[in-house]
Structure 1
Amino acid sequence: MSTPTLHHTPSASTETVDERLIENRARSVGHLFRDRVAATPDSEAFRFAVGETWEGVTWSEVQQTAYRLAAGLIALGVGPEDRVAIASSTRYEWALADLAVMCSGGATTTIYPTTIAPDVAYILANSGSVVVFAEDDEQVTKLWERRVDLPGLARVITFDGASDGEWVLSLRQLEQMGAELLATNPGAVDERIDALTPDQLATIIYTSGTTGRPKGVRLDHNAWTYQAAATDAIGILSPSDLQYLWLPLAHVFGKFLLTLPLQCGFPTAIDGRIDKIVDNLAVVQPTFMGAAPRIFEKAYARITMMMKAEGGLKEKLFKWSVSVGRDVAAMRARGEEPTGMLATKIGLADKLVLHKVRERFGGRIRFFISGSAALNTDVAHWFDSIGLTILEGYGLTETSAASFVNRPGSNRIGTVGWALPGTEARIAEDGEVLLRGPGVMEGYHNKPEDTAEAKDADGWMHTGDIGELDANGYLKITDRKKDFFKTSGGKYVAPSLIESTFKGLCPYVSQFVVYGADHNFVTALVTLDADAIADWADGHGISGDYRTIVTSPQAREMVQMYVDTLNVNLNRWEQIKKFVVLDHDLTVEAGELTPSLKVRRKVVNEKYGDVLDALYTG
């Protein structure tokens, strides 16, 4: 481990923080939930899709169901800190299951629904999970396949799958068991909540380790209640907000956004279907949404390509409006408002173009929150120009998601903003970002050596990210420490920044992976977005399936043009000298992307190493 230097995060002098919210935070997630129900029992808590319509439930209705499910878990023998896993996509039942675990005194273990059966078995065995909530028959089948490896797994509760009445129960059957327990012991769940302590285990979230085996990050109740209270304390959200939540709840960012409404009291529309995001935004009309950068990149590419396809006056008007919007956004970032001719221009631009773009996102968005990977600054500026602010934030699974975040009135594009109150940051001598605070993990489950390597004796979490803190407390992440590589010429290359820049230049790209460790020049692996490249092909008279299009000379020439543009602003040793365009995209199912759509660099480099190495021969 490197030795920390004394570069502390400066306080954000312009920010008003309600410290009382942090000091008086709930003792546990169970307490937080119960307090929310008591404060606003008849307010809307969740909204979820049933067919083509959306239904809402109040906090008191959520409590009734969650308590019955929690009592059902107690009836099954779930005790304090016993692990209960959830293997499901993002949906209302996920939230109910998690609340039930929290209120029963158990600890939630999260599993992505795309996880293959052997890895599911490893996570369940390593965590010691005694019950699993499984979304459907597909998830249940994985458990049947590995049941012999899971002697400690007592029951499976399925949301939509078939019940056998013995090992596999339906959600309704669990709820009925809980109702019967509460009929004889009405205080069973409240007694479990009363007994919860801040340092009690609340969640184990598994994150990929360098050896390939995932590591279970242990987060206690205090981590979650701190994150919620600290976010509430900076005053960026209120009960009048409406969240749209699609992110994987097995991911720490999604889990954080599920905990936040318990503190702030706003309702959440929940639907994990990525292909429904745009349609749902128009119907739900949320005021904020968290997302991974890929969602913003795709929206930016789609809209700009649509305008380019229109051509003529429409395209010119669109470009003019965005240009005016960018000038106004720059003024507002300085705390100024447009006057005179610029005020007239932005009024016209907004009336003719910009408000129509905002309406595609529901028309009520106050801001987006971007996390889990770096957001391209050109994409961020474009959204800002049309009146859709993206607040980039930063955190790790090991820091329970939110450590830094930009603020609506002090958003600085290209940074991840200020630290949440109560979180400390330092920059080590080698540039690594170190974090300390209530949100930092207890440690890795059953991995004391890995814990000691990541978290030092003084409580500083070594993030593995390289960053810079400016005098005003804004943090800029420049790359992952382990992703840096050295060319054979001895020059260091930061691939993430190059990759993010290219995604802002090329609207047709899906993934751009920079490669070149120990080689004499840098190369890249390129994949193209299926929808974007199909539109491009139509406009260039190219027919055929995806493979035919992306392997065509015209597609390669197009990519080369954008690579040339990229190279103009790179150091000579960073420039992409050669690249290969794959005939297929990277996918979550193939293990090449995480469920939050980040590239698994080690997997990609190993899988396509021969293809990339071939660029250095001949």
Structure 2
Amino acid sequence: MLAFALVAGSVWVVLELSSTFMEKMQSRDLLLGLQLPELDDLGQFLRSLPTSTLLGLGALTAVLAYWISTRPRPITPPCDLRLQSQEVQMEDGARRSMMGDSSTLLSHYHEDAKTMYEVFQRGLHITGDGPFLGSRLPNQPYKWLSYREVSSRAEHLGSGLLSQGCQPNPDQFIGVFAQNRPEWIISELACYTYSMVVVPLYDTLGPDAIRYIINTAEISTVICDKAQKAAVLLENVQRGETPGLKMIILMDAFDTQLLEEAQKCSVHIRALRDVEALGREHYRKPVPPGADDLSIVCFTSGTTGNPKGVMLTHGNVVADFGGFLKVTDKVIFPNQDDILISFLPLAHMFERLIEAVVICHGGRIGFFQGDIRLLPDDMKALRPTIFPVVPRLLNRMYDKIFSQANTSLKRWLLNFAAKRKGLEVCRGVIRSDSVWDKIFFHKIQASLGGRLRMIITGAAPASPIVLDFLRAALGCQVYEAYGQTECTAGCTFTTPGDWTAGHVGAPLPCNLIKLLDVAEKNYFAAKGEGEICVKGPNVFKGYLKDPVRTAETLDADGWLHTGDIGKWLPNGTLKIIDRKKHIFKLAQGEYISPEKIESIYIRSEPVSQLYVHGDSLQSCLVGIIVPDPEVLPSWAQKKGFGGCYDELCGNKEIKKAILDDMVRLGKASGLHSFEQVKDIHIHKEMFSIQNGLLTPTLKAKRPELKEYFKTEIEQLYSNISM
């Protein structure tokens, strides 16, 4: 009996191994020529073996059987990763996704969710009295509002707005001026329930931009969180700068002084709960919007000029997140057990889109406390499964991990473990229970709650080195998206199973992408390079009351011209290689793209921020560098330098070492000599929104940087010419 069991087990193992081998080879030819022994001969051979040998064989069989049954399975990609997009005939070289109907672009994923109102109703139907929106006080657990509670509050708030004179149609714009919190979503849903349009405001836009938005969008009602913001809005009215603003609704408590100031300029101040109570008394049935109705006007900050009001319909948003669902539906489909941590500004479409995906499937959204420094504590308390991030945060995570590995041996072991686990990732295996996780990465994963299954990064290019490491260390699927507000949020996305870095994925099934020649930079579509253009149901309708800038961005055939320069890779994915804007010539006539150079130099370990400068009167480039306060001391110590952050920033030898490291990276990345900076200035203070050097989306404001560092730049050029 024992011999029979061992034989059966051995045969099963052989068959399993043969099956696996055949799957890998995708052919039977190799096995056809093998002369396998008959089972009678095999049985006779086994019976001739001593008992100890049979027991050893049985143990080996058991181990092999266990390994085969428990070995990690790779993710099955939804398409051939060697061909992730295909060219579309009669579309001037445009490419589309390999997923979905090849004859049409995806406009929605769920038949019962074609507007943002229906998206919420679908989530409500799935989860009902289950948790939806969560918030917490310091050192307290999360408290949750249910889908049904939020539905009632949204209808009551919307009815209250109508009772105050707002109209239930897409011509009614409602401003929302608040940090991420449950009332933000309730206000948004109140607007959608009665076909009104949301216009997000955020204080990092600056006072001039807020006045411009209120006047351009003709906003008469603003819902805001804090009395301080309401006071700023009232000051604008008192100065006659926003005469159309008539009502401010406050989420937080306010005092009588604010009421008195409001009365002076005939502005009504209401508490959010009071407006909800009014709506409960004067309830109005929902007036749902259509797919072609406006849902949101999202003003983008830009680096120059007034902000542009991107007009997005309900259909735009639904198409964009439908494209995301189509790409990932066979691998990691959202469900009501998912929890998203909300900390990226809701005024930006990237965050709004991911939250819409969660809402549509009855999942939960937990809000951070409002202080980014407390985000790790919020992550541990919430234990999210979905984590939308920007590359800057990933860089900080990466730097912090390695700064805590404070010896060369620890860093070597960390890199070794990441590379070994990275081999699994390259084979499509994503898990958090390997020996490498248990020894090296468990604490990192636990610091993010320990339940993450999806990280999505967008808004800026991510470092390949950082992505590769975190895909191994975090034990979850890490996706990279590319897009801009004008295409709702994303137009390309990582294909599940393709965990290679250095590209932004393939086109989403909701849009086409083509490249146009940029002759002045020697980029030609015939060579697979050029300006990225997007067309599809996720592309915006234009800028609010701005036909000139609309025509500059959206051509007559419906193609959105992004200003980014991309390159098609052989597998059909897109790589961002340059930026059309901010291109300038040096004195000798060479074209320079500073953002491309900055994207290379930022990989230097001690560099946190930088600004590369040049102009047509100079023959070379210079740079302004802000070192990372957490990384510079340890990096300098490895180079043999000591001192605090301020002392190191003033050390000429440290400056030279940083410059040498940047030039080394430039050479390794193929920069021409004229594209390398010749000298740098070390600046101790970070570029920020507050000091006016970054946009609210954390992009460099190049004209402001040029003016801010005018003296330092002149001194750098003076030193070079000496």
TM-score normalised by structure 1 residue count: 0.89
Match of 1:355 in 2: 442
Query: Aligned match of 2:225 in 115, 135, 138?
Result: 135
Shift of residue 428, structure 1, vs aligned partner: 0.9
Shift of residue 534, structure 1, vs aligned partner: 6.0
Match of 2:581 in 1: 482
Residue 501 (structure 1) aligned with residue 591 (structure 2)? no
Asked if the contact 2:391–2:457 (Cα under 8 Å) also holds between the matched residues in 1, the reply is yes
Residue 532 (structure 1) aligned with residue 628 (structure 2)? no
Letter in 1 for 2:248: V
Query: Aligned match of 1:568 in 667, 679, 689?
Result: 667
CA gap of 1:6–1:170, structure 2 versus 1, over 3 A, is: same
Letter in 2 for 1:435: V
CA gap of 1:337–1:86, structure 2 versus 1, over 3 A, is: closer
Query: Aligned match of 1:75 in 159, 163, 170?
Result: 163
Asked if the contact 1:427–1:467 (Cα under 8 Å) also holds between the matched residues in 2, the reply is yes
Asked if the contact 2:338–2:358 (Cα under 8 Å) also holds between the matched residues in 1, the reply is no
Three-state SS of the structure 1 residue aligned to 2:97 is: coil
Letter in 2 for 1:509: V
Query: Aligned match of 1:584 in 664, 685, 688?
Result: 685
The CA distance in 2 between the partners of 1:262 and 1:363, in whole Å, is 22
Match of 1:238 in 2: 334
Q: Which moved more, 1:416-425 or 1:512-521?
A: 512-521
Matches within 5 A, 1:224-373: 224-234=317-327, 235=329, 236-239=332-335, 240-271=337-368, 272-307=370-405, 309=406, 311=407, 313-330=409-426, 332=427, 335=428, 347-373=434-460
Asked if the contact 2:205–2:695 (Cα under 8 Å) also holds between the matched residues in 1, the reply is no
CA gap of 1:5–1:221, structure 2 versus 1, over 3 A, is: closer
Three-state SS of the structure 1 residue aligned to 2:690 is: coil
Match of 1:457 in 2: 556
Residue 162 (structure 1) aligned with residue 224 (structure 2)? no
Match of 1:467 in 2: 566
The CA distance in 1 between the partners of 2:100 and 2:154, in whole Å, is 41
Match of 2:34 in 1: none
Match of 2:135 in 1: 48
CA deviations on 1:496-528 (whole Å, 9 max, x unpaired) are: 33323333331x322122222323122211112
Asked if the contact 1:322–1:382 (Cα under 8 Å) also holds between the matched residues in 2, the reply is yes
Shift of residue 151, structure 1, vs aligned partner: 2.0
Query: Aligned match of 1:150 in 236, 242, 246?
Result: 242
CA gap of 1:241–1:315, structure 2 versus 1, over 3 A, is: same
The CA distance in 2 between the partners of 1:261 and 1:91, in whole Å, is 16
Residue 607 (structure 1) aligned with residue 708 (structure 2)? yes
Letter in 2 for 1:221: H
Three-state SS of the structure 2 residue aligned to 1:268 is: strand
CA gap of 1:326–1:491, structure 2 versus 1, over 3 A, is: farther
Asked if the contact 1:72–1:179 (Cα under 8 Å) also holds between the matched residues in 2, the reply is yes
CA gap of 1:566–1:316, structure 2 versus 1, over 3 A, is: closer
Match of 2:212 in 1: 122
Three-state SS of the structure 2 residue aligned to 1:149 is: coil
Residue 87 (structure 1) aligned with residue 180 (structure 2)? no
Shift of residue 432, structure 1, vs aligned partner: 0.7
Shift of residue 596, structure 1, vs aligned partner: 2.9
Asked if the contact 1:9–1:419 (Cα under 8 Å) also holds between the matched residues in 2, the reply is yes
CA deviations on 1:199-231 (whole Å, 9 max, x unpaired) are: 211111111356521111111111112223332
Q: Which moved more, 1:8-17 or 1:583-592?
A: 8-17
The CA distance in 1 between the partners of 2:651 and 2:158, in whole Å, is 57
Match of 1:343 in 2: none
Letter in 2 for 1:595: P
Query: Aligned match of 1:523 in 616, 619, 622?
Result: 622
Match of 1:403 in 2: 491
CA deviations on 1:424-456 (whole Å, 9 max, x unpaired) are: 111112211110111111111101111111111
Letter in 2 for 1:487: L
Shift of residue 610, structure 1, vs aligned partner: 3.8
Three-state SS of the structure 2 residue aligned to 1:505 is: coil
Match of 1:11 in 2: 97
Letter in 1 for 2:249: I
Residue 598 (structure 1) aligned with residue 699 (structure 2)? yes
The CA distance in 1 between the partners of 2:280 and 2:634, in whole Å, is 55
Shift of residue 162, structure 1, vs aligned partner: 1.0
Three-state SS of the structure 2 residue aligned to 1:86 is: strand
The CA distance in 2 between the partners of 1:370 and 1:404, in whole Å, is 12
Asked if the contact 2:578–2:596 (Cα under 8 Å) also holds between the matched residues in 1, the reply is yes
Letter in 1 for 2:251: F
Residue 107 (structure 1) aligned with residue 221 (structure 2)? no
Three-state SS of the structure 1 residue aligned to 2:602 is: helix
Match of 2:72 in 1: none
Shift of residue 529, structure 1, vs aligned partner: 2.8
CA deviations on 1:473-507 (whole Å, 9 max, x unpaired) are: 3111112210333322333333333323333331x
CA gap of 1:465–1:19, structure 2 versus 1, over 3 A, is: closer
Letter in 1 for 2:666: N
Q: Which moved more, 1:9-18 or 1:374-383?
A: 9-18
Letter in 2 for 1:46: L
Letter in 2 for 1:483: H
Letter in 1 for 2:488: S
Match of 2:308 in 1: 215
Q: Which moved more, 1:38-47 or 1:312-321?
A: 312-321
The CA distance in 2 between the partners of 1:538 and 1:159, in whole Å, is 50
The CA distance in 2 between the partners of 1:118 and 1:337, in whole Å, is 47
Asked if the contact 1:127–1:445 (Cα under 8 Å) also holds between the matched residues in 2, the reply is yes
Residue 512 (structure 1) aligned with residue 512 (structure 2)? no
CA gap of 1:558–1:73, structure 2 versus 1, over 3 A, is: farther
Asked if the contact 1:5–1:428 (Cα under 8 Å) also holds between the matched residues in 2, the reply is no
Residue 417 (structure 1) aligned with residue 505 (structure 2)? yes
Shift of residue 14, structure 1, vs aligned partner: 10
CA gap of 1:55–1:534, structure 2 versus 1, over 3 A, is: farther
CA deviations on 1:224-282 (whole Å, 9 max, x unpaired) are: 12223332233143113221121011112122223222323221212243212222222
Letter in 2 for 1:293: P
Asked if the contact 1:297–1:504 (Cα under 8 Å) also holds between the matched residues in 2, the reply is no
Asked if the contact 2:173–2:217 (Cα under 8 Å) also holds between the matched residues in 1, the reply is yes
Shift of residue 373, structure 1, vs aligned partner: 0.8
Asked if the contact 1:432–1:462 (Cα under 8 Å) also holds between the matched residues in 2, the reply is yes
The CA distance in 2 between the partners of 1:57 and 1:171, in whole Å, is 16
Structure (1 or 2) with the larger CA radius of gyration: 2
CA gap of 1:354–1:133, structure 2 versus 1, over 3 A, is: same
Q: Which moved more, 1:429-438 or 1:535-544?
A: 535-544
Three-state SS of the structure 2 residue aligned to 1:427 is: strand
TM-score normalised by structure 2 residue count: 0.77
Query: Aligned match of 1:201 in 273, 276, 294?
Result: 294
The CA distance in 2 between the partners of 1:259 and 1:301, in whole Å, is 31
Shift of residue 395, structure 1, vs aligned partner: 1.1
Asked if the contact 1:290–1:369 (Cα under 8 Å) also holds between the matched residues in 2, the reply is yes
The CA distance in 1 between the partners of 2:604 and 2:592, in whole Å, is 19
Q: Which moved more, 1:453-462 or 1:148-157?
A: 148-157
Three-state SS of the structure 1 residue aligned to 2:685 is: coil
